[in-house]
Structure formats: structure tokens, C-alpha cells
Amino acid sequence: DIVMTQSPDSLAVSLGERATINCKSSQSILYSGDNKNYLAWYQQKPGQPPKLLIYWASIRESGVPDRFSGSGSGTDFTLTISSLQAEDVAVYYCQHYYSSKRFGQGTKVEIK
């Protein structure tokens, strides 16, 4: 099974500053048949279900602010919040859907 490991476990960023979350898969999740990375990112605010932010590693879901971006390929991926807003305080999860499905352990983003 493919294991997803996020880093850091938590980070504190000042309002307006950049937040960067990393996600590493234990094997490549780039499928050669379609050249797509089978990776999604979710945001979960306290007391709420997760919300899809990014899929195919870099495609922003409709309605997601453009300060959220995803990048990476193969085994190493990044979610970037370019200018942190107060409403971005949440736990962020990566998820592979290459074979079966598995989430990373989550990264908690707070305001410094």
C-alpha cells in the first residue's frame, strides 16, 4: 500500500505570509498511461467535514481561492497558500487515489 507522509505536522504563519505544506508518497503516484499525478488536497476546519481544494496535484476545485496552489510530481508534492488569511486556519490533508486511497496524517495551519 502507498503511504502518504506530510510535513510539517503543524505550522504557524503570519497573516499575509506564505504557507507551504509538503506531502511525500512511498512510491510514485504518476500514472504513465495518462501522465497524471493521482493526488488531491483537502481542507478541514474545526467541526466541519473536509473540503476538496486540489486534484490531479495541481487543478484547483471550482470556487477555491487562487491563493491555494498545488505542485509536484512523482512522489513529492506541495500545497502552497500564497497569502494566509484568517479563514485558512485548518488542517490540510493530501490523499492519493492511485491504487486504493490513503490520506496523509494532516498538517495543522495556525496564525502566528
Partner 1 sequence: EVQLVESGGGLVQPGGSLRLSCAASGFTFSSYWMSWVRQAPGKGLEWVANINQNGRERYYVDYLTGRFTISRDNAKNSLYLQVNSLRVDDTAVYYCARDSTVAGFFENWGQGTLVTVSS
The span from the CA of 106 to the CA of 14, in Å, is 20
The distance of closest approach from Cβ of residue 94 to partner 1 in the complex, given in angstroms and rounded to an integer, is 10
The distance of closest approach from Cβ of residue 42 to partner 1 in the complex, given in angstroms and rounded to an integer, is 8
> What DSSP character marks residue 82?
S
Say which residue the cell 510539517 belongs to. Answer: 8
Taking the least distance from each CB to partner 1, the nearer of 57 and 81 is 57
Taking the least distance from each CB to partner 1, the nearer of 52 and 89 is 52
The distance of closest approach from Cβ of residue 17 to partner 1 in the complex, given in angstroms and rounded to an integer, is 25
DSSP secondary structure, 51-84, as one string: EEEEETTTEEPTT--TTEEEEEETTEEEEEESS-
- Give me the residues that bind partner 1 (CB under 8 A), please: 1, 38, 40, 42, 44, 48-52, 55-56, 61, 93, 95, 97, 100-106
